[in-house]
Amino acid sequence: MEELRQLPYSIESEQYILASALINPQEASAIVNSVHSEHFYDVRHKNIMEAMEKLYQNHQEINYTNVIEELKREKKFEASGGIEYIGYLIDILPTYVRWDTYVANIKEKALQRELYHTLSNLSNDILSGRFQTDDILNNTERLVKNVLNKRSVNQLTKVDSITPGVIDEINKRMQNKNDLIGIDTGFKELNNILSGFKKQELIILAARPGVGKTALALNFASAACKQGKYVAFISLEMGKEQIVKRLISTESAVDHDKINKGQLSGTEISSILTAKSQTIDKFNLYLDDSNSANIFDIMAQCRSLKRNGKLDMIVVDYLQLIDLDSPRRSSTRAEIVGAISRSLKVLAMELDIPIIALSQLNRTAAKPDGEPNLAQLRESGSIEQDADVVMFIYSNKEDEERNQKTANLKLKVEKNRHGRTGIMDITFFKHILKFTQEKEQR
């Protein structure tokens, strides 16, 4: 009973899910496909769920009578509370309850219990004095990663439980043909190619140093914030104050160099204050410049924001600066970056949001002698395989335009897993760190 008191679980959630299956046989198959006996803590509930799973596997209807018969056949009927408790489950179910609202709760509690046992075992290893520190750290990373992976991996789902939602989405798209599927990128032509930044996608934005990939990423973040979206911008090479100065320059159209030097006219100060109060202060933008280059720290931060319902998109600047916690000594940098890109893709799917990760190009792309390609992603590893979208910013006339206030660039969608690719012309106003399409300037 002491363990029952201490370990996290929700008896109501477990009861409501089981009662829903007992009362509504038509819902029972979907319930069995969504949650499993291992997620239940109460032994009675675990037994009842196992009986339902057995009936499902044998192609028998899951209902009150069949569940009782299966429990008796397995000699678990009395251990499951008998007729009194099973009848009680049905009686306590409120008419307004939707079982699916409780599934995430019991899965979360099950994960917390597993994490508790994992950490308890690790504590015992430390106290035993039988293991070296490196062995304990490696074992900790492996075991905790296993728990994290369970959180991000969805259970297998039968196709007929997915198709209704897909048909609904198709109907909505037909009725609202001009609506984007994803988050508005801020560029009409890019929206036409990508249909916006879509949920669960990992988007790679790559360029040579100095071309403006951080500025473009901030433009993407600003466009999302103007739609009321919550955005996390994680910078591993730039402080929060510098990021805000860039935003101020872009939104006020005041020269970034003047802002840094404090050489501003009264009109420019007025423009800055207007941009601050009317635009930037209203952004749901979270900035992180902690220089924590650990992928697990980044994932933990983002999960925390998402749990509070305040995360629609993540931008990471940039991929090659992220590290694993304690990679194997034999791992190459390409393998490490590949593992990081995979972790970001898994995070995008888990949180159901798009993640934009900036990337450098390797030395073979150091000179502007042509269009960049996937092979030029620095320490590419599996970046191109993990990414749903890969975009490049480049110019064949970089040397001519290096000292000019504007640069006519190309934004190339080299890979688009769910649609077409393409190239668009964009203009970079370097002095205010703003990108726009040439057609939009006229």
**CB-based contact 264:272 (threshold 8 Å):** yes
DSSP state of 435: E
Q: What is the mean pLDDT of residues 374-400?
A: 74
Q: Starting at the earlier edge strand, list the strands of the sheet with 422-429.
A: 284-288, 230-235, 313-317, 355-360, 202-207, 389-394, 406-416, 422-429, 434-437
- Rounded CA-CA distance 100/161 in Å is 12
Check whether 313 has a pLDDT greater than 90. yes
pLDDT band at 135; cut points 50, 70, 90: confident
DSSP state of 79: G
Q: What is the mean pLDDT of residues 95-114?
A: 80
The H or E element containing residue 411 is strand 406-416
Q: What is the mean pLDDT of residues 92-110?
A: 78
The 3-state DSSP class for residue 422 equals: strand
Q: Which one is the CATH code of 180-441: 3.40.50.620, 3.40.50.300, 3.40.50.2300, 3.40.640.10?
A: 3.40.50.300
What is the structure's pLDDT at 202? 94
Which residues lie closer than 8 Å to 380 by C-beta, 6 or more apart? Answer: 334, 337, 338, 362, 374
The 3-state DSSP class for residue 124 equals: helix
Q: For residue 260, which of 242, 273, 276 has the smallest C-alpha distance?
A: 242
Kindly state the percentage of the chain with pLDDT values over 90.
27
Q: For residue 200, which of 318, 306, 321, 82 has the smallest C-alpha distance?
A: 306
**Where exactly are the structural domains of the chain?**
2-103, 180-441
Rg over CA atoms, the chain: 27
Q: From residue 380, how far is each of 332, 383, 414 by CA, in Å?
A: 11, 5, 15
237 is catalytic: yes
Q: From residue 368, how far is each of 318, 361, 409, 432 by CA, in Å?
A: 21, 11, 12, 24
pLDDT band at 29; cut points 50, 70, 90: confident
CB atoms < 10 A from the CB of 360, how many? 19
User: Residue 112 half-sphere exposure, CB side, CA atoms within 13 Å?
Assistant: 13
pLDDT tens digits, residue range 199-249? 999 999 998 888 889 999 999 999 999 999 999 999 888 888 889 999 999
What is the structure's pLDDT at 214? 92
Residue with tokens 């992976």: 149
Number of H helices and E strands in the chain, helices first, is: 19, 9
Q: What is the mean pLDDT of residues 401-413?
A: 80
Which stretch of 101-115, 133-147, 412-426 has the lowest confidence by average pLDDT?
Answer: 133-147
Q: Could you tell me the pTM of the whole model?
A: 0.64
- Rounded CA-CA distance 120/116 in Å is 6
Q: What is the mean pLDDT of residues 152-158?
A: 58
CB atoms < 10 A from the CB of 370, how many? 10
**CB-based contact 185:194 (threshold 8 Å):** yes
User: Residue 85: what residue type?
Assistant: Y
CATH fold, domain 2-103, is: DNAb Helicase; Chain A (1.10.860)
DSSP state of 188: H
Which stretch of 22-36, 169-183, 423-437 has the lowest confidence by average pLDDT?
Answer: 169-183
Which residues lie closer than 8 Å to 221 by C-beta, 6 or more apart? Answer: 231, 233, 285, 313, 315
Which stretch of 295-309, 364-378, 406-420 has the lowest confidence by average pLDDT?
Answer: 364-378
Q: Select which of 12, 78, 169, 237 is catalytic.
A: 237
- Rounded CA-CA distance 350/199 in Å is 10
Bridge partners of 233, per DSSP, are 287, 315
What is the structure's pLDDT at 4? 46
Please give the full DSSP string across 231-293, using - where no structure is assigned.
EEEEESSS-HHHHHHHHHHHHHT--HHHHHHT---HHHHHHHHHHHHHTGGG-EEEEE-----
